[in-house]
Amino acid sequence: MDEFDLDLQEASDMNAAYKQESRSLDRRICICGHAMSRHHFNDFTGSHYCKPGQLACACVNKRPVIEVPNTRYFMRKSHGSGSKHALTLGVVASIEALGEDFTKGRKWLVEEVCDICKKETKYYPVRVTPTGEALPDSDEDQGVTAFMCSECRETN
């Protein structure tokens, strides 16, 4: 490094910050709809980010919600809530591709309750603001998803 007018430690720190992580065997999926292995921490900026393939996800609160036999089908982009959400799209793609292997091999890691009122309900991912207000499908994703019951979706 004598031929460079640079600090060796600074260059080493940059290498570490941009190091490609090895493949993970983590089969959990975040509520944002992407594999937990796609969530990273950047030492250089000191921030977390979700990068599924060439996509950039706005996820700010990683939360594993389901464990699946194969994460490759969870490389989808959210276009809104419910059936337009990346989590739903990934589950549907997995069912279509793997069929019974997926339905037998998946394991939900969270209870079927509304994140807002805590009432028992089926899973329905909703893009929300950091304060829990539902976002219309046309609004910009703020990186937070919650499971919401129909009553909370209507009043929110």
pLDDT single digits (tens) 76-106:
999 999 999 999 999 999 999 999 999 999 9
CA atoms 98, 99, 105, 111: torsion sign: positive
Question: Which residue shows structure tokens 């219309």?
Answer: 136
Please, are residues 109 and 65 in contact by the beta-carbon 8 Å criterion? yes
Residue 11: both structure tokens together:
């260059």
CA–CA distance, 137 with 22 (Å, rounded to integer) = 35
Residue type, 120: E
Identify the pLDDT of residue 19.
66
Q: What is the DSSP letter of 6?
A: S
pTM (two decimals):
0.82
Residue 14 has pLDDT above 80, yes or no: no
Identify the pLDDT of residue 17.
67
Residue 26 has pLDDT above 60, yes or no: yes
Identify the pLDDT of residue 120.
97
Across the range 123-141, mean pLDDT stands at 90
Encode pLDDT of 48-66 as tens digits. 889 998 888 999 889 999 9
Rounded to whole angstroms, what are the CA distances from 13 to 1, 39, 45, 115? 15, 20, 12, 40
Identify the pLDDT of residue 116.
95
CA atoms 134, 139, 144, 150: torsion sign: positive
CA–CA distance, 108 with 62 (Å, rounded to integer) = 15
